[in-house]
Structure formats: C-alpha cells, structure tokens
Structure 1
Amino acid sequence: MKKIIILKLLLLQTLLVFGQKDFPLNTLTWSISSPWQNASKITLNPINEKKTQIIDGNSIIYSKAPNSSIVSAIKLQDLKLKFYILQSKSGNAKLNLGDNLSLIFDMNSNDTFGAILKNNETIIKPLAEAKRKEGLWQKVELVLSLTGLNGIPVIEKVILNDLLIHSNVLLPNLKSTNGSLSFTNQTGLLAFKDFEYIGFEKKKPISISNLTYTLEETYNADRSFESKKQEKVSGKSAALTTDIPNNFNKYILHYKGDLTVEKDAMYGFTLEHQGTGKLLIDGEQVVGSGEYLYRNPISGLKEIKAGKHSFEYIYHPIYWRPVFGIEVSGADFRPYGLNDPKTLPTRQLEGGIFIDNVESKAKTIRSFLNFNETKLTKVISVGTPEKIHYSFDLDNGSLLQVWKGKFADVTQMWHERGEPQLLYPSGLLTVLNDEIPFFELSNEVQPKSDVYTEFVNTGYDLDEGGVPTYSYNWKNANFTQKFSPSNGGLFCEITSNQNLKFGYTIAISNEITKLSDNLYKVDNFYIEINEKAKVYIKEINGKYYLRTNLTGKIAYTLTW
C-alpha cells in the first residue's frame, strides 16, 4: 500500500472575526406568517417522511410549502451569523444574503450543499463535504463583509458542521447586495433554529489613554514572578507596546491608564501572548491566566458603563520573545486591537502533516486523543479507503468517535518531537462515548470494571482489508468487536461466547428516539439494527442507553 502523507501549509486567516471566543451573539427575530410555522421539536424519519412528528412550540421555525420565503427583521450589513437547519431528503433551500448572493442547501447534492450562488448563475463549490444526513441538524456559521477588500464584497468564512467550507471568497462583479436576509424553501421540509448574529458597524467604542508603565526585573521565569527589588524602569507611553528600552533579561511589564467607553454594554476582551498576562478594569480581573501560553487566545466578558474607567495590563514574557495583544469585541462592531500592532506580529505560517486519503487497505494509527477534557492514551484510529473512519479506546472497548471525508491531522504526532502525540479527525465528526459497552444483564448499573485486571483487552487481528477485530475477556466470557465501512456508514459487529448473561450498550445520549422497529435517532446520528435483537432504551442517572441482549452475534449500522 502506497503511503500517502500530504504536507501542506495552513494559510493564516487574516480576518479574525471567529477569533472572539465567548462573546454572545444577538437573537434574530423573524416575522412568522403562513406557510411558515413554529414548533418546539421536529422528528423526521429518513426512511418515511410521512411519519415526521412535529410538536407545537416556539423554538423552531419551519415550512413544508414549496417556494416559500421568510424575511428577517434586520437590515443586511456586514454580518456574522450562526444557526442550525434541518431538512428532509427532498429538501432544497437557500439562505439569501441580498438579491444576488445565496448559500445553497440541497440535500440531494454533496458537491453543492453549502455552495455559494452569485448573481443566480455562478456556483462556488465548498472546499469539503460536510453535509449530515436528512433529519439531522446542520450547524452553519458565516461571516459576510459587504464593504469587503478595497470595496469588493467578501464572504470571509463559512463553517458547516465545524468544517471550513469557504474561506475569504472575493465576490467581484456582484451585481448588488440589495435586499434582506431571508430563507427560501424550494422543496421538501426546511426548519431552522437558534439563529444568532452580530451586525458590524464601522466604529471603535472603547479606547485607552494616559498610559504609564512600570518595568521590573525578575530573577527567572518562575510563576512566583519574584522581583530583584532594584530600581524599576517607569514612564509614559503612547501605546501598549513591548518596545521599551531596558537591559533586563526577565521582567514584568505593568501598564496603567484610562479606558474610555462610549455606551453601556457587554464587551468581550481576548488576550493573546507569549508568556502570562492579565487584564484588569476598575481593579477587577476580566481575563488572564497564570499558565504559560504560547499565543493561545483566552477571553472574558464584562458589563461596562459609559465613561472613564481605570485600566491595567500586566505581562510577563517568561522565556519566549515578548509578544502580546488585547482585542475588544462587542455586539455591533468588529473585534479590534487596543495594542500597538507591532507588539502582536503576524503568526508565522505553520506546517501541517495530514493523511487525507487512505488507499487500498485500512490504515491504523495508535495515538493519544483529547476526549471530553480527558487525554486518552490507548487509542487506535482507523482510516479506510471508503472515507469512513473511527477512533476506538482499547482500554474501555468503546467506540469514541466516527467521521467521514479526509482522515487525520497527525501534525502533533509526527512534527519534530511529536510530544503531544495527539491525532485530530479531518472530516465530518460525530462524537460518541468512552464507557465500557458490555454489562451484566443482572446488574445494569454496575460500577466501571478495572481495565487491567477485570475487563481486559486481549489484542486485535487485522482482516485482509486491514480492518481490526478487537477481543476482550471479562467474567470468564470472550467478546469481539469489529467496525467496517458500509453504505456510507459504519457497520458494527459484536459477538459473545456466552448467551443470556451479558448485554451491550449501542449508544448513550441525552435523548434517544425510536423511529421504527429497527431505526433509532440518537442526538445527531442514526442507529439501524441490522439483525433481529432485543433492543430497548434504559434511563440511568439522567442519561439514556440504547441496549441489547448479547445472544451470540449482533450487528447494527451507525450513520450520520
């Protein structure tokens, strides 16, 4: 098998709108009239759309009428949008960004779902396939700049289901951007919810002035920030900068000044630095960290009244080159920096190591994996030529996550020392769980078994296609699990050498819906039972478990 490792340059995104981490967006209101309606829940059966269940309420807006449109209550402008849409299998809809610019959501096309339509004739296809199956909620994020680059409108980013599908798309010769933000449902069912936005105005409502600084030498880079207790360097500064003449090797830089705010509002502040830093307003810390950060942005929010406030910024460069920046964001303006731009230079282009495609046979990679804020250390990830991939916890025997499309980002495994040893999925991801799936029928709420002495992985074997079968021993019984690509999903086969004693957890979720005798919707994916099995839903400690008795061999297919 030819080994394909693609080395790429990750282009730096010059527009930082998605850099603001925590600032809450505004809720967008819509004027509802027939055929558009409200609902609290929509459950769509992907096999039989006639069995779609709709519960009255106010959190969802939907229409089943062809060629029906709904217009938002805001004026079209420079915008950041975030929302979720749901469509039936026959669904075809557009999000209209004025009269001559749209995003296409056609469930019958992977190539054009999420495509940009300009002047009703030019289609700009997405960079990646990121469409979920019909009846599942699709997450959409978008940033539009009508003022653009040198007057040329630009779609800065479109992110679909957490995958970047458009980046800095210039729109020359766009006939006009007149009109409103609206949806057009052309065929099938279209529903949307949680529509939020920020409308950007050209303003900078917060400024700093009357800056003074104190520069104090420290003994070393220790977190105690111990001072040498000698004469300090102090003075006035026209801007937040590290460009202060001194002979210190290690130091703390402490700025003080005035922060002038134009109106009462909630504001977001994002720090990016090499070292440690913290921001205080009126003596209260808004954001900061004592951890050593290498340009990892951290954010905080603060409600601030109009007028003048005290401002402090304390920075310690540790052992890296001095670099820092302070960005402010709000509900009606673009994020901008309060620091001297030279103090936060453009990042260097970072190299990336990717395995985009797997040829001939499945490829297995052992790695660490960040999962639910825990670093798992015995994980195997399997990529297949069919572009259906998964990660599996060898200790717990749990299917952690599945994804489709490109395989993996292995930069942190194979670049230089590869110290983090972390693998990241590159495609459309669905996260599952890390619990041991096997249980005794006589004790369904049993505590977790010890994976070294009780529930023990006895190895795995590869078939001719390179796909592993995992073996386990527990309570004098043997179990196997195998996961293979099948019809755009993952076919899962489970065996046991003892009947009527053990069960298997197929899925865990906050919500599980039975759509038919053999089809279940679990959060944002489907489980189809492929063989006759006694499947049931059980609630344990506020979570729902889709389970079955282990009677020899069971099989199911997971699709998303």
Structure 2
Amino acid sequence: MKKIIILKLLLLQTLLVFGQKDFPLNTLTWSISSPWQNASKITLNPINEKKTQIIDGNSIIYSKAPNSSIVSAIKLQDLKLKFYILQSKSGNAKLNLGDNLSLIFDMNSNDTFGAILKNNETIIKPLAEAKRKEGLWQKVELVLSLTGLNGIPVIEKVILNDLLIHSNVLLPNLKSTNGSLSFTNLTGLLAFKDFEYIGFEKKQPISISNLTYTLEETYNADRSFESKKQEKVSGKSAALTTDIPNNFNKYILHYKGDLTVEKDAMYGFTLEHQGTGKLLIDGEQVVGSGEYLYRNPISGLKEIKAGKHSFEYIYHPIYWRPVFGIEVSGADFRPYGLNDPKTLPTRQLEGGIFIDNVESKAKTIRSFLNFNETKLTKVISVGTPEKIHYSFDLDNGSLLQVWKGKFADVTQMWHERGEPQLLYPSGLLTVLNDEIPFFELSNEVQPKSDVYTEFVNIGYDLDEGGIPTYTYNWKNANFTQKFSPSNGGLFCEITSNQNLKFGYTIAIGNEITKLSDILYKVDNFYIEINEKAKVYIKEINGKYYLRTNLTGKIAYTLTW
C-alpha cells in the first residue's frame, strides 16, 4: 500500500526558489596564495585518488593541504551565495560565514554533510541527505541575513544539489557576526568554482505606474485567449490586482502601464499564477507560458535601460480561483513583488502530496514528465525500498533520470483536477537522456525510428520484488532492459537475442572521461562496467556517447 503524506508544508523538497533562469550574479574574487592553487579542470579517480588529474587554468581554486584556509574580502551582511565544490573521499571542509558560523562539508558523513555549525559547538543537521559521490561537483546555494529577524541572524535557505536542506534557521545567541567569508580545508582535496553572490541592499529600483486594465469574458477555459464578442470592462487601477468587479464566469485580464527603471542592468522577472499568463516589456515577451500552471514559478531575464518603459501583463485564470504575482530580482537587491500582495496569498499547500517511502516492494507510477522542456506522456517511474528510483520513457526505451532519497511529489497528478499530470522526483536527481539506446553497428548515426511501427514496446513484466523488465522489438530482434538498486546505485541489465548486429548506448554526455578499464565519468555521474564488454566513446553532433556491442547480455552500474 502506498504511503501518501498530505500536509501543509513550509518546505518544498525540490525547490524552484532560485528561479528557473537565474540572473547573472556578481563574481567573487579570492586572494590566492600557497597552498591554494588555480586549475581549469580536476578529474578525480575514486578508485585510485593518486591518479587524480589537474590541468592548469583559472576557473577552479583548490587545495590538498590539511587545515588550509582561503579568505574573501566580501562583507557579510544580507546576501545570497551560489557556488560548486568538489572533494575527495577523505574530504572534510567548512565554509565559514564569519567567526562563529559555518557550513560543514564532510564527505565521510551523510547526515551532517551540509550541516550548520554554530559557535563551533552546536550542529544543526540538514533536512535531507543530498550529497553526491566524491569527485563530482556539488551545487550549493545559500541565503543569509545577519541583520536578521528582530536582530536575530537567520539562514533563510540552504539548497544542496537542488534539494532544500535548511529553511529559516534562526541563530539566537550567536556569539559574533564578525569575520570574513572563507573556506577551511581540513582534510583531503577541496576545490570550488563559479562562486557568485548578491548583496541584498535595501532598495527597489523598478516601479510601475499609470495602470489601465481591460477585462474580457471568454467562451471557455481554452488557452487560446479567445474572447466573446461583447462589451469589455476597462478602467484604471492603483495596483496590479484581481480585485476588479465583474460578472464574468471566465475571463482574460489585460494590464498596461509604465515601468520605471532606476539604472541600466539585467533584471529577472518571475511569474507565479493559477492559470496562464505572460509579461511583456516594450512589446517583447520576457516570461510567460501557455501551459496551465498551478503556482509553478516561471522566470525570464531582460537587460533594461534606465528610464520609463511600457509593460503589459495578460492573465487567464482558466477554471481556478484568480491568483497571480510578478516578482522582480537583480544583482544587488532582494527580490520583491510588483503586484498587490493580496493577489498572491501565502501558499497553504506546497508540494502537498508526496510518496516519500516505498515499503517492501518496488512501486510503479505512470505519469507525464517535463524533460528538457518537452512534456513526455508515456513515462513510468519506479520507486524502491532501497531509496534508489528512476523514470523511464516507454516510447523510446530510454532511462530518463535517476535519484536517491524520497520518492515522488505527485501533487500535480492527484491534487484537485490533476490537470498537468506531472510527477517530480523528491530526492537527489541526476538527469540522463531520452534517446533510443539501441542502434545498428553498421549505421551508428541513424535517424530516429518510429516508436509505433518500428521500435515497438512489447510491454513489461514485474519480478517478485516489483522491478520491471521492459521488452522491445526492432528490426526482427528482441531487447530487454532491467534496472535494479545495487550498493547505492542503479544496476542496469541489457539483453538481446541478436549478438552481432546491434549496439547499446550506455550514456550520453557533454564530456566522458575514462578513469579505468571499467569506470567512466559522464558529466557529473559515474558508469562502472560490470560485465566484460567492448566499451568505446563516440562523438556525434557535438555530444559524446558511451557505447558497447550487444553480445547477449551486458551490465553496468550507474552511481551519482
């Protein structure tokens, strides 16, 4: 029986807090001196760290020396940080947020990696385990306010590898907020790159004025914005609001006005609404979606000159209660809303319906899935008691994504009408690819086969543990694929009844590095070959493919 948890959350496990498009942050500079050094690339071999390869350059800062520190000149107050770190298996390091506050990055501990250390004695553990394996880059995002809430410093958010691990952590009795932002490498290798920040100044450089609106009744909830041929409601408004008297059942609300900008800069705009909406500045759409969205933030960027500009906001609530908001953000101020706060009430249900844990047998869920900006409609997601999960495209026979930890957020499948029918992973995610993995050895750059008449899904069978085996028929040959949890990773078994004609794509990436005869690093995950197989790397149209000949059965393990 599925364990489904429905609750009012203050937290959202897979968070879009930092926007789907983050505006350019400020680059942080560091004073580098021995033992800290620069590099352009670091490739760590987890089997034999003595074979770690380091290439000279300037994009990465690293140290192998124990108890070595590097200091930044940034002033710690209210700010947002974003950076990437890489460590060896023995790595243990701290990001110091002043003299008495740190984030701990200990590769030998799952439950304290990303923990907060207060006054060098009190440890606040993360809400979720979000650590990647040694040698892989880990993304860290943090919002800190030392001016705090009523004078109490607060860590507003820490997001590790896109998982929320701390939220609104108040820090009473913090001995001091003095000191600099610095790293301390305690043991092993520590490297970091792309360290960016925003200092939140108390200002709001964009404002709106001279608002007019037009309200048009529509025939139905269709996203085409078709309106009825009847009188429209129009007028002036002091604020962006849904509070406009009317008798319409379904309607489109169209605002126009002036947008005043204090200085030339890149700005981010985030829309959150129930229905559909779009924002235009000087006649150009900055952000918007024709998809029905139930308060899923969408963001866009625009370089804007100082002065007065025209803007339009068009909103269609479809069949939901009217709710919308427009948030503006930049590189030196805290994000704020341009709308009347009453039009975007505090969310009572975020995420909402979770299948957190899978019990004695694997569970399968059919759903839609947003993948590389495409909605896939024939997807199966499999959750296991071992907390290793994956999504699989039944049309293309492709392993789309893998994750570990909690299973799935199914709010948009089972809440109210469940209109989007979308499933979201709740754990530490690695995104793979959606290409058909099988190919003919005589034609490795072949066009995609038709999934209805050529590459045909025969179906899948479940073993005693609930794990599916998928069967396909293509060019008079049968193929099977099975994916099972194993030692913290996903064990993949592939078979074919034709031994000499076909090959299989194990992984696709922007970069593939051979670490040993059986171990490969693909972008930010590892592939370990478990069976004797002829594995090779092939470049096709700027992407790299890790491939092998299908000789009866092949097996490999994917870890991240």
Worse-superposed segment, 364-373 or 196-205: 364-373
* Distance verdict in 2 for CA 1:435–1:281, change over 3 Å: closer
* TM-score normalised by structure 1 residue count: 0.90
The number of residues matched between the two structures is 560
CA distance in 2, matches of 1:85, 1:179: 22
Separation (CA, whole Å) in 2 of partners of 1:4 and 1:209? 46
Q: Is 1:556 aligned to 2:543, yes or no? A: no
After the TM superposition, which of the residue ranges 183-192 and 422-431 deviates more from structure 2?
Answer: 422-431
**1:42–1:54 Cα contact (<8 Å) kept:** yes
Question: Which residue is 1:403 aligned to?
Answer: 403
Post-superposition shift, 1:51? Answer: 0.1
Structure 1: how far apart are the matches of 2:264 and 2:163? 36
Per mean C-alpha deviation after superposition, the further-off stretch among 284-293 and 184-193 is: 284-293
Kindly state the Cα deviation for residue 204 of structure 1 after the two structures are TM-superposed: 1.9
Q: CA deviation at 1:271?
A: 3.6
TM-superposed CA distance for 1:336, in Å, is: 1.4
Q: CA deviation at 1:423?
A: 2.2
Per-residue deviation, 1:403: 1.1
**2:16 and 2:297 in contact (8 A); partners too:** no
Change (3 A) 1:244 1:419: closer
1:12/1:347 contact within 8 Å kept: no
* Structure 1 residues 444 and 242, CA gap change in structure 2 (3 angstroms): closer
When residues 13 and 125 of structure 1 are mapped into structure 2, their CA distance, relative to the original with a 3 A threshold, is closer
Pair 101,498 (structure 1): closer, same or farther in 2 beyond 3 Å: same
SS in 1 for 2:212: strand
Q: 1:542 — aligned with what?
A: 542
Specify every segment of 5 or more residues in structure 1 that has no aligned partner in the other structure, as ranges. none
How far apart are 1:86 and its partner, in Å? 0.5
- Please report how far the alpha carbon of residue 4 of structure 1 lies from its aligned counterpart in structure 2 after TM superposition: 6.1
In structure 2, C-alpha distance between the alignment counterparts of 1:423 and 1:351, rounded to whole Å: 11
Deviation at 1:19, TM superposition (A): 5.2
Aligned partner of residue 533 in structure 1, secondary structure: coil
Q: Percent identity between the aligned chains? A: 99
Q: Contact 2:258–2:310 at 8 Å: present in 1 too?
A: yes
Distance 1:35 1:497, change over 3 A: same
Query: After alignment, is 379-388 or 447-456 more displaced?
Result: 447-456
3-state SS, counterpart of residue 9 of structure 2:
strand
CA distance in 2, matches of 1:528, 1:28: 37
Residues 550, 155 of structure 1: alpha-carbon distance in 2 compared, 3 angstrom cutoff:
same
Shift of 1:167: 1.2
**Partners of 1:460 and 1:251 in 2: CA distance:** 45
Please tell me whether the aligned partners of residues 274 and 293 of structure 2 are also in contact (alpha carbons under 8 angstroms): yes
Distance 1:239 1:54, change over 3 A: same
Deviation at 1:419, TM superposition (A): 4.0
The 1:232/1:526 distance shift into structure 2, 3 A limit, reads: closer
**Larger CA deviation: 209-218 vs 546-555:** 209-218
In the alignment, is the contact (CA less than 8 A) between 1:20 and 1:329 conserved in 2? no
Measured in 1, the distance between the counterparts of 2:184 and 2:385 equals 37
Cα deviation for residue 274 of structure 1 reads: 4.6
Mean Cα deviation higher: 97-106 or 220-229: 220-229
1:75 is paired with a residue whose SS is coil
Structure 1 partner of 2:446: 446
1:147 aligns with 2:155: no
Distance 1:33 1:118, change over 3 A: same
71-80 or 82-91, which deviates more: 71-80
User: Contact 1:17 / 1:335 at 8 angstroms: preserved in 2?
Assistant: no
Of 242-251 and 107-116, the range deviating more from structure 2: 242-251
Post-superposition shift, 1:285? 5.3
Give the superposition deviation at 1:313.
Answer: 4.9
**Structure 1 residues 63 and 446: alpha-carbon distance in aligned structure 2, compared to 1, 3 A threshold:** same
Higher Cα radius of gyration: 1
Let me know the Cα RMSD of the aligned residues: 3.2
**Structure 1 residue 220 displacement after superposition:** 7.4
Question: Secondary structure in 1 aligned to 2:71?
Answer: strand
Give the C-alpha shift of residue 237 in structure 1: 4.7
Identify if the C-alpha distance between structure 1 residues 309 and 478 changes in structure 2 by more than 3 Å, giving closer, same or farther.
closer
Task: Give 1:326 shift.
Answer: 3.0
Instruction: Give the direction of change, closer, same or farther, for the CA distance of 1:404–1:176 in structure 2 (3 Å limit).
Output: same
Moved more, 1-10 or 151-160: 1-10
Matched residues in 2 for 1:396 and 1:311: separation? 43
TM-score if structure 2 supplies the norm length? 0.90
In structure 1, the residue corresponding to 2:309 is in which secondary structure?
A: strand
Query: Per-residue deviation at 1:110?
Result: 0.3
Mapped partners of 2:236, 2:4: distance in 1:
56
Relative distance call for 1:67 and 1:391 in structure 2 (3 A) is same
Q: Is the contact between residue 20 and residue 299 of structure 1 (CA under 8 Å) also seen in structure 2?
A: yes
Cα distance in structure 2, aligned partners of 1:104 and 1:15: 21
Tell me the SS of whatever aligns to 2:256: strand
* Shift in CA distance, 115/325, structure 1 to aligned 2, threshold 3 Å: same
- Contact 2:66–2:188, Cα closer than 8 Å, also in 1: yes
C-alpha distance in structure 2 between counterparts of 1:524 and 1:405, whole Å? 18
Segments of 5+ residues of structure 2 without an aligned counterpart are none
Q: Shift of the alpha carbon at 1:269?
A: 3.0
Residue in 2 aligned with 1:483?
A: 483
